[in-house]
Structure 1
Amino acid sequence: MRYMNKSMKQINKDIFDEINIEAVDISGIENIVTPNIVNINECYILDLENELSSKNINWNRLMKMHGDRTGYEASCNELRINDYVDDNKTRDEILIYGLRSLHSWKDKLKRDYPNQKFVLILSVNEKFVTLRFHAKREGENWLSSDLERYQESILVEEL
């Protein structure tokens, strides 16, 4: 299921509907398009450096800081696409990389964790394109269901 606020619907109409996302050249950003995602203590976490271990994580402290597993995941699984591409890329090009990454993350999560549901979020403001995800859990929400209350453009993909 895919949801967008009005701002993202306009971007979708202007940009995303006209390109083949799977044909986007990802050379140079493969590590973010196809990242390592690990399950530690029922939290699904981006591990771009392949170095995460449950013994390095203080779960009590993290739950106090973030409130729940969903908040923790949404926080540590935030990736600003701008940080991984050349400065000369336009916002539209960075958005395309973000959408390509979202598609890849979605496929990877479905393949690696077929029994778990996830929420992927692509957001865009005047400076950054941000991608994040968290597991979908009963009674835990990171994002409001009213996407119009956010100033940035938001796309939510649930699987």
Structure 2
Amino acid sequence: MRQQGNAARKEKTVSYIEGNTVRKLQPDPARRSEETHREFKEKQRLDREQRERKRTLRAAARRNQEKALQMSPGYVLFLAAAMLVMVGVTGVYLKLQSELTTRIRHVASLKSEVMNLKTDNDAEQKRIDTSVDLEAIRQKATGELGMIYPGKDQIIYFEVDSSDYMNQYQDIPVK
């Protein structure tokens, strides 16, 4: 009897394996209970429902794609009109941009021309200033034309404010 008891104990301990190659134990199919069977059936039903849901979603997506690919004549006309408006706006924009560039170049050439004229005027003024001999003019005015320098009592001084010029509203008084 002892041997039979040991044999039963060995069967229980034989199922344990040491090391890194431990296998998963398979449950005995005869021991499957009603609860396990119910869980299995429930899982199968949920999987079936999920597949059916996916199938209906795919069909709906396919219908939506087909509907989206179809364009009605009104939609085509709308797209054509929108495209024409966009092309028109782009054309007007490019035309305005071109005019702006042309005007900027014209203004730059006018500025250059003004600078050249100012330089020419300054050079001409310098030439005129250096060509006039002020000493010869004084000699001719005092000698031939009878000009006399003013005396100290004939000179009237006035102060000029911050402006560069003065408006004269009446004659300067004589002393």
- Aligning the two structures, in what range does the TM-score lie when normalised by the shorter sequence? under 0.3
**RCO higher in 1 or 2 (8 Å CA, sep ≥ 6)?**
1
Normalized per residue, the structure richer in helix is 2
Given the two structures, how large is their TM-score scaled by the length of structure 1? Answer: 0.17
Given the two structures, how large is their TM-score scaled by the length of structure 2? Answer: 0.15
Normalized per residue, the structure richer in strand is 1
Whichever of the two has the greater Rg, that structure is 2
